[in-house]
């Protein structure tokens, strides 16, 4: 792959964006399927998969633990495993992949030996304490001195059994991580939510569906309790659906330019939570005055950029845990919107207020200045703010390569729709 420039200047297209674009495979499902295939005895074929930094980091970590992960083509993984992860001879480095980091932290408790789960500087400030405490309550020797990675897990080859409580308020990934490791328990494992509600529950549903595809038996006891049988996993073939969070940029690009982009899949067909954003985008430029982002968190940067052009101001609520994603997204979105126009985005507590202006594009059309969008190593800030560049001249996206976390082909996709991207610095 050729290296991307330090920045891209976007020229607003003079035409609506029209065409057929297949979004890449779902990050969430790919990283679940890679892990579950590695925990199964046999060979699993995963097709429609995402190949990006986050999934390559997961694949590399599994290879480090003795799992054979082959890549016959650009959208497939073939995973062959004995169903048992081996102790790696070096720490697992998972960059800023939240899914890989959290899911593996629980799964490596099944290793007979010591595993260190670590990430980059950003991951080292993303909390993992509640998951570590839950593992400790199961009798697992897990330590994270800072409450963030690195986490050191000294496994004895079993995941334990019995009841474990977890507060998933900061991240639903803690709950998914425990659920996915639970079929490897010495006996049944009961996972119960405590404390604050989990953010996007749809991700737990995604986890349960993936587990069942690989033969797990999960019983829902009540709204916040699951009992998982100690079945282990069975190798399976899986066709992974496209990424719903990636789809939000395409729905957004079509809405902002009055175009029509065919994704080859209807919003209703997705099982991922972010597909709910399509119904909100469909109302553009009359999106609601209050948008609850709690059940479509990764879509909030997309919706917030659209909101700048909406007919009415928008308040985003239910988004407190956007502060512990790749970057503090509440702050990043407010800051970068206000770089476009002072006070366009503001924070009020954990809410994000967008001072929408339906005339924003025409008001800024004559402006001759360049607005350099800081992207904080966050793929979603880069992808969402590129949408602003479809309407406003002078938008420059710094570090466009950061989209490689989940959508390496993002800029080629925009160029393919006729958007002019000029390398800049």
Ligand X SMILES: O=C(O)C1=C[C@@H](OP(=O)(O)O)[C@@H](O)[C@H](O)C1
Among ligand X, ligand PEP, none, residue 201 binds (CB under 5-8 Å by kind): none
3-state secondary structure of 93: strand
Report the residue number, 56 or 326, with the smaller CB distance to ligand PEP. 326
Among ligand X, ligand PEP, none, residue 380 binds (CB under 5-8 Å by kind): ligand PEP
Minimum CB separation of residue 72 from ligand X in Å reads 25
* H or E element that contains 353: strand 351-354
Place of tokens 């046999």: 42
Report the residue number, 298 or 399, with the smaller CB distance to ligand X. 298
Burial 282-310 (b: 16+ CB within 10 A, else e): eebeebeeebebbbbbbbbbbbbbbbbbb
CB 398 within 8 A of CB 374: yes
Integer Cα distance of 389 and 293 in angstroms? 23
Among ligand PEP, ligand X, none, residue 176 binds (CB under 5-8 Å by kind): ligand X
Among ligand X, ligand PEP, none, residue 310 binds (CB under 5-8 Å by kind): none
Nearest to 354 by CA among 374, 373, 334, 339: 334
Burial 393-403 (b: 16+ CB within 10 A, else e): bbbbbbbbbbb
Check if 378 is active-site.
Answer: no
Report the residue number, 326 or 357, with the smaller CB distance to ligand X. 326
Minimum CB separation of residue 176 from ligand X in Å reads 5
Q: CA torsion angle for 231, 233, 239, 243 (degrees, to 10)? A: 90
For Cα atoms 373, 200, 237, give the angle at the middle one, nearest 5 degrees. 100
Minimum CB separation of residue 174 from ligand X in Å reads 8
Minimum CB separation of residue 32 from ligand X in Å reads 7
Integer Cα distance of 65 and 108 in angstroms? 9
CB 132 within 8 A of CB 143: yes
3-state secondary structure of 145: coil
Minimum CB separation of residue 161 from ligand PEP in Å reads 28
Active-site position among 298, 357, 378, 399: 298
Minimum CB separation of residue 325 from ligand PEP in Å reads 4
- Name the residues that contact ligand PEP, by CB under 6 A: 96-99, 298, 325-326, 380, 406
Q: Which two tokens stand for residue 340?
A: 């476009």
Integer Cα distance of 292 and 391 in angstroms? 25
Instruction: Give the dihedral sign, CA 172/170/384/9.
Output: negative
**CB-based contacts of 46, cutoff 8 Å, min separation 6:** 30, 33, 34, 37, 76, 77, 78, 79, 237, 238, 240
Report the residue number, 52 or 81, with the smaller CB distance to ligand PEP. 52
Among ligand PEP, ligand X, none, residue 97 binds (CB under 5-8 Å by kind): ligand PEP
Report the residue number, 39 or 200, with the smaller CB distance to ligand X. 200
Report the residue number, 165 or 205, with the smaller CB distance to ligand X. 205
Among ligand PEP, ligand X, none, residue 172 binds (CB under 5-8 Å by kind): ligand X
Report the residue number, 250 or 421, with the smaller CB distance to ligand X. 250
Among ligand PEP, ligand X, none, residue 236 binds (CB under 5-8 Å by kind): none
End-to-end CA separation in angstroms for the chain: 20
Minimum CB separation of residue 171 from ligand X in Å reads 3
403 φψ region: left (φ > 0), alpha (ψ -120 to 50), beta (else)? alpha
- Name the residues that contact ligand X, by CB under 6 A: 28, 98-99, 171-173, 176, 199-200, 203, 297-298, 321
CB 13 within 8 A of CB 231: no
Active site residues: 298
């Amino acid at each position: 792959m050729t290296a991307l420039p330090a920045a891209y200047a976007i020229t607003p297209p003079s035409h609506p964006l029209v065409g057929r674009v297949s979004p890449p495979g779902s990050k969430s499902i790919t990283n679940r399927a890679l892990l579950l295939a590695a925990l199964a005895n046999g060979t699993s074929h995963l097709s429609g998969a995402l190949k990006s930094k986050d999934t390559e980091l997961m694949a590399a970590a599994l290879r480090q633990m003795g799992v054979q992960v082959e890549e016959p083509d650009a959208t497939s993984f073939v995973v062959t495993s004995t169903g048992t992860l081996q102790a790696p001879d070096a720490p697992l480095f998972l960059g800023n992949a939240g899914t890989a980091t959290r899911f593996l932290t629980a799964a490596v408790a099944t290793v007979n030996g010591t595993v260190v789960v670590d990430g980059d500087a950003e991951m080292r400030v993303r909390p993992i304490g509640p998951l570590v405490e839950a593992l400790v309550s199961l009798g697992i020797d897990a330590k994270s001195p800072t409450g963030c990675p690195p986490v050191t897990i000294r496994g004895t080859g079993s995941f334990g059994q019995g009841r474990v409580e977890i507060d998933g308020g900061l991240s639903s990934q803690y709950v998914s991580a425990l659920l996915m490791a639970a079929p490897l328990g010495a006996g049944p494992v009961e996972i119960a939510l405590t404390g604050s509600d989990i953010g996007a529950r749809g991700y737990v549903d995604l986890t349960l569906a993936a587990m069942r595809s690989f033969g797990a038996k999960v019983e829902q006891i009540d709204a916040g309790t699951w009992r998982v049988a100690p079945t282990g996993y069975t190798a399976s073939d899986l066709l992974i659906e496209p990424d719903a969070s990636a789809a939000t940029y395409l729905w957004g690009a079509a809405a902002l330019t009055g175009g029509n982009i065919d994704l080859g899949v209807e919003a209703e067909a997705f099982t991922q939570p972010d597909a709910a954003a399509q119904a909100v985008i469909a109302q553009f430029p009359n999106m609601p005055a209050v948008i609850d982002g709690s059940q479509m968190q990764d879509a909030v940067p997309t919706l917030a950029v659209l909101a700048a052009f909406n007919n009415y101001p928008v308040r985003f609520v239910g988004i407190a845990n956007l502060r512990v994603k790749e970057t503090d997204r509440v702050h990043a979105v407010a800051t970068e919107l206000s770089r476009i126009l002072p006070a366009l985005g503001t924070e009020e507590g954990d809410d994000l207020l967008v001072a929408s202006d339906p005339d924003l594009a025409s008001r800024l059309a004559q402006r001759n200045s360049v607005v350099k969008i800081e992207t904080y190593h966050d793929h979603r800030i880069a992808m969402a703010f590129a949408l602003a560049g479809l309407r406003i001249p002078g938008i420059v996206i710094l570090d466009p390569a950061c989209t490689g976390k989940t959508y390496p082909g993002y800029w080629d996709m925009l160029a393919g729709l006729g958007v002019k991207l000029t390398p800049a610095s």
